[in-house]
Structure 1
Amino acid sequence: MSKNWEKVVLSPKHSVRDALAVINAEALRVCLVVDQEQRLLGVVTDGDIRRAILNNVALAQSITAVMNRTPITVSGKLTREQLLELMRERSILSLPVVDDAGKLIGLETWEQAVKVPSYDNPVFIMAGGFGTRLRPLTDSCPKPMLKVGDKPILETQLNQFLKAGLKNIYISTHYMPEQITRYFGDGSTWGANIRYVHEDTPLGTGGALGLLPADIPALPLIMINGDILTTVDFGQLLDFHNKYLPAATMCVREYDHQIPFGVIRGDGNRIIEMQEKPIQRYLVNAGMYVVSPDVFMNVPSQKYIDMPTLLEQQIAKKQDVLMFPLHEYWLDIGRIDDFNKAQLDIKGLV
């Protein structure tokens, strides 16, 4: 998203001349017109200005005389690839970003969308589990090395991180580690920098953080279980974390559970309400986190701890632990049914 988009926001009180001055002064080649509540009213491009001049529209007139009142807008939830596809289809160089109430919250430009991102943030992939629920597939192969399509799960994850501009990869191993280290090596084949930490004994989903090397970049760390397939925009996830600077950010998914019976609510012997097979909705841990350096750099070495406990400790210290809701594709390959589903889904993910 463009960092300077606020500079091209005008109100209906501004003139066509004002819009021309802004377009000439800024590199975004567009003006965004909003009302007092920041709701988007229209868009003015340099092309709109040129057409107005040819049609003898006075430069002193309100900007509303030349603006496009029905511009194409997007939500902040679109991935970089979705933005690029939409811009290609519509031959558009910029797209206003609005929230559910129609309020302007940003501007996506072609120049920013095509720019290859680059982050120094470390990525920590937890790949040491036994995968017992996937036996017999995991009797001779660690779960992250099981092939979904023509690649191991771990390679698909790696490619998605590289595509997002994240190259500093750390992998935690325990079960059959040599299969992972032999396949990926130092990551140079993929253009990545891969380092390994080995758990001699399982340390829980958070304990391996204590094995990370001392020279790891002191930046927010993305942590993910090695059995997850997702299309989440890791850049947006980091932007969210960096905006609020919590101790940690947990990715969450909505999970629906339908009770297979009629549920009765009563007062004593009196029935007050009956619901037939109601659906209960929960937010559940998606196995992905962003962890601030103050947290992951202070996890004791060789101490067992799971991530929920580690985060609860931060909450007890009055530190912020935030949720990042996922709406993108997400699959935890924990069971045979999940593995089979992944084989069908993978074509739409790569």
Structure 2
Amino acid sequence: MKNVFLKENDTIKQALEIIDKGAMKIAFVVDNSNKLIGSVSDGDIRRALLNGKTLEDKIENIYNKNPLKAHISDDRKNIINLCLNKKIYQIPLVDDENRIVDIFELEEALRYIEYPNKVVLMVGGLGTRLRPLTEKTPKPMLKVGNKPILQTIVEQFRNYGFKNFIFCVNYKNEIIKDYFKDGKEFGVNIEYVLEEKRMGTAGALSLISKNKLNEPFFVMNGDILTNVNFENMMQFHLENNAIATMGVRNYSYTVPFGVVEMNSNLIIDIKEKPTQTYFVSAGIYVLNPETLSYIPYNEYYDIPELFKVLIKENKKTISFPIREYWLDIGRIEEYERANKEYERFFNV
């Protein structure tokens, strides 16, 4: 049985290490007698980080004290149905003393999960900031780690069970089509939507037939290199009953001067070169099909504008903090950095 156990006084960092190392989405909290008292999921940790918790904080105030469980003697089919109904992937199997004796893994039980959710990749940009590299090659086809950026994106989604893609193409689209074709060579299915003009990060969604986007779907920019757990992101979106989820990154900026705090004209404090921290959009989104009705047809439209409209309409929009490797390859220096870091963060 994998080591997925924590104690109440363990830290969020320790919980992350167990979850990441074990390639599971959850860890279980036990008492000194190894009896089950709770669980900590990837989603619990991300919500805690959004609420200002740090990696050194203890899990005692964030773990679920009423974890789902099954008895070791329960029928296998009933356990599978419980996992599917509750949208969970691992469940502890306990004995009569409430001690964990095994972990039931849904993915292993079903052998391989393939999700119906589409992945819409925006790959039509001109890549002007990467010239001269993009004069003959569209930005998503620039090679990082001896393969196009776009291939790494496709493979990462495929590895999490998302195999149905729609590429929104424009600039030098024939290069992308000739390389990927229908996707079968890469173990996926690919359709193409041609943007006849600049459409922004959301405008091209209006060109996609609505019957092709009848489940929550991903939208992602085609110049992002990341090993984010897409399965966790979709699960987070569904668990929170959101209409739209935005992947966000922590961004810190150090003011290069002493900042003066004042009350009227009275100086009350001076902070030397303080660091400001913000959450910024990471260019990865999960949207429900109903969001399409808010996007104007065949017009330039950006996803931040869509979120503003949804917020104004009091629709539930949420953020998903991305703690994994993430890099927006928009400039030459970022492209060079990606090539240096690729082997460290991706299987090659």
Q: TM-score range by the shorter chain?
A: 0.7 to 0.9
Q: What is the aligned partner in structure 2 of residue 58 from structure 1?
A: none
1:234–1:77: structure 2 CA closer, same or farther, 3 Å change rule? farther
SS in 1 for 2:152: helix
1:337–1:204: structure 2 CA closer, same or farther, 3 Å change rule? same
Equivalent position to 1:158, from 131, 140, 154: 154
Tell me the amino acid that sits aligned with residue 202 of structure 2: G
1:339 matches 2:335:
yes
Q: Distance in 1 between matches of 2:18 and 2:284?
A: 17
Q: CA deviation at 1:213?
A: 2.4
SS in 2 for 1:204: coil
Q: What is the aligned partner in structure 1 of residue 105 from structure 2?
A: 111
Q: Distance in 1 between matches of 2:137 and 2:143?
A: 10
Q: Distance in 2 between matches of 1:249 and 1:174?
A: 26
Equivalent position to 2:256, from 236, 248, 260: 260
Equivalent position to 1:276, from 267, 272, 282: 272
Tell me the amino acid that sits aligned with residue 105 of structure 2: E
Equivalent position to 2:168, from 158, 162, 172: 172
- Equivalenced residue count is 278
Name which of structure 1's ranges 331-340 and 269-278 shifts more when overlaid on structure 2. 269-278
Q: What is the aligned partner in structure 1 of residue 74 from structure 2?
A: none
SS in 1 for 2:225: strand
Equivalent position to 1:134, from 103, 113, 130: 130
Q: CA deviation at 1:149?
A: 1.1
Q: What is the aligned partner in structure 2 of residue 290 from structure 1?
A: 286
Equivalent position to 1:198, from 194, 198, 204: 194
Tell me the amino acid that sits aligned with residue 172 of structure 2: M
Q: What is the aligned partner in structure 2 of residue 60 from structure 1?
A: none
1:239–1:203: structure 2 CA closer, same or farther, 3 Å change rule? same
Q: CA deviation at 1:144?
A: 0.2
1:101 matches 2:59:
yes
Q: In 1, are the aligned partners of 2:8 and 2:59 still within 8 Å (CA)?
A: no
Name which of structure 1's ranges 124-133 and 258-267 shifts more when overlaid on structure 2. 258-267
1:215–1:302: structure 2 CA closer, same or farther, 3 Å change rule? same
What does the per-residue CA deviation read over 1:166-212, in whole Å, with 9 as the maximum and x for residues that have no partner? 01100010110000001000001111110000100011111010111
1:207 matches 2:203:
yes
Q: What is the aligned partner in structure 1 of residue 83 from structure 2?
A: none
Q: Distance in 2 between matches of 1:296 and 1:76?
A: 38
What does the per-residue CA deviation read over 1:110-152, in whole Å, with 9 as the maximum and x for residues that have no partner? 7346543320000000000011110100011100000001100
Q: CA deviation at 1:265?
A: 1.1
Q: In 2, are the aligned partners of 1:83 and 1:113 still within 8 Å (CA)?
A: no
SS in 1 for 2:342: helix
Equivalent position to 1:249, from 245, 251, 255: 245
Equivalent position to 2:140, from 137, 144, 163: 144
1:131–1:110: structure 2 CA closer, same or farther, 3 Å change rule? farther
Q: In 2, are the aligned partners of 1:141 and 1:176 still within 8 Å (CA)?
A: yes
SS in 2 for 1:215: helix
Alignment of 1:315-330 (within 5 A): 315-330=311-326
SS in 1 for 2:212: coil
Q: Distance in 1 between matches of 2:22 and 2:226?
A: 14
Q: Distance in 1 between matches of 2:15 and 2:104?
A: 13
Q: CA deviation at 1:81?
A: 6.5
Q: In 1, are the aligned partners of 2:294 and 2:306 still within 8 Å (CA)?
A: no
1:254–1:208: structure 2 CA closer, same or farther, 3 Å change rule? same
Q: Distance in 2 between matches of 1:190 and 1:222?
A: 19
**Bigger Rg, structure 1 or 2:** 1
Q: Which runs of 5+ in 1 are unaligned?
A: 1-27, 33-38, 43-72, 87-93
Tell me the amino acid that sits aligned with residue 181 of structure 2: G
Q: Distance in 2 between matches of 1:229 and 1:188?
A: 22
Q: Which runs of 5+ in 2 are unaligned?
A: 28-35, 45-57, 69-89, 92-102
1:238 matches 2:234:
yes
1:79–1:206: structure 2 CA closer, same or farther, 3 Å change rule? farther
Q: What is the aligned partner in structure 1 of residue 180 from structure 2?
A: 184
User: How large is the RMSD of aligned CA atoms in angstroms?
Assistant: 3.0
Q: Distance in 2 between matches of 1:314 and 1:184?
A: 34
1:183–1:81: structure 2 CA closer, same or farther, 3 Å change rule? farther
How many percent of aligned residue pairs carry the same amino acid?
39
Q: What is the aligned partner in structure 1 of residue 298 from structure 2?
A: 302
Tell me the amino acid that sits aligned with residue 236 of structure 2: F
Q: Distance in 2 between matches of 1:121 and 1:178?
A: 26
SS in 1 for 2:246: strand
Tell me the amino acid that sits aligned with residue 145 of structure 1: M
SS in 2 for 1:318: coil
Q: Distance in 2 between matches of 1:77 and 1:133?
A: 40
Tell me the amino acid that sits aligned with residue 215 of structure 2: L
Tell me the amino acid that sits aligned with residue 277 of structure 2: R
1:205–1:190: structure 2 CA closer, same or farther, 3 Å change rule? same
Q: CA deviation at 1:77?
A: 9.1
